């Protein structure tokens, strides 16, 4: 707050483009935990957050870095990893008796078929109740990485193949077997969540 003014709220986070206070107030007024979805270029996180006057409290969280524990070798910022993080966080939430919430995308736009909705698909697949329109979810084929396999097959034998998939190949993942790897990691997450 600046001196000399009777009462001025500091909306620094709004000026920096980090918080939309109107949306936040609307989400908080629901009284339900917020399911906070955030992404960067190389990672994705899902959190169940409850408002507290002293500061928001994270009830349950998962990020793409947690997927490494389950054997994930793919990129940590793609559609498949977002789905798996949603699945993982959903299982953790159910264990802690949180079975519903309201989506909080922050300042990100809700683009149908995006990684945000891949994470929502993961949450819904384990039984978390979330309000959304059915047509915004990506198809399971896309989430499981079938499009990556098709693209890799089209580049097979070409020089571009090695360049395009160098990180996958370096980690020991053949892009032609991406969906198989996805299913193995998904199975590991569900097995661990059942214990």
pLDDT value at residue 109: 77
pLDDT digits (tens, 9 = 90+) for 48-75: 999 887 878 999 999 999 999 999 999 9
Phi and psi torsions of 63, nearest 5°: -135, 170
Mean pLDDT value of segment 183-191: 96
DSSP string, 129-163: B----GGGSPPHHHHTTHHHHHHHHHHTTSHHHHH
The residues pairing with 100 across neighbouring beta strands, listed in sequence order, are 129
pLDDT value of position 13: 60
Contact 60, 48 (CB under 8 A): yes
pLDDT tier at 90 (50, 70, 90 boundaries)?
very high
The pTM of this model reads 0.85
Fold assignment, 12-138+182-194: Nucleotidyltransferase; domain 5 (3.30.420)
pLDDT at residue 27 greater than cutoff 80: no
Cα angle: 88, vertex 84, 120; to 5 degrees: 85
* Distance from C-alpha of 93 to C-alpha of 96, rounded to nearest angstrom: 5
> Residue 120 and residue 107: Cα distance in Å, rounded?
17
- The pLDDT of residue 99 is 92
pLDDT of residue 16: 65
- The rounded mean pLDDT for the chain is 87
Task: Report how far residue 27's alpha carbon sits from residue 32's, in angstroms, rounded to the nearest whole number.
Answer: 8
């Amino acid at each position: 707050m600046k001196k000399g003014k009777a009462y001025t709220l500091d909306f620094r986070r709004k000026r920096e483009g980090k918080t939309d206070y109107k949306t936040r107030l609307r989400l908080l007024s629901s009284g339900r935990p917020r399911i906070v979805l955030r992404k960067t270029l190389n990672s994705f996180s899902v959190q169940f957050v409850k408002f507290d006057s002293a500061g928001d409290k994270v009830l349950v969280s998962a990020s793409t870095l947690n997927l490494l524990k389950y054997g994930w070798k793919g990129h940590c910022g793609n559609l498949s990893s977002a789905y798996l993080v949603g699945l993982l966080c959903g299982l953790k939430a159910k264990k802690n008796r949180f079975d519903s919430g309201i989506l909080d995308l922050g300042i990100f736009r809700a683009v149908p078929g995006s990684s945000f909705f891949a994470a929502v698909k993961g949450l819904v697949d384990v039984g978390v109740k979330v309000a959304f329109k059915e047509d915004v979810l990506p198809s399971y084929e896309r989430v499981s990485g079938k499009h990556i396999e098709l693209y890799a097959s089209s580049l097979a034998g070409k020089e571009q193949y090695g360049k395009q998939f160098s990180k996958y190949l370096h980690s020991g993942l053949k892009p032609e077997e991406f969906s198989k790897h996805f299913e193995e990691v998904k199975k590991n997450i569900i097995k661990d969540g059942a214990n």
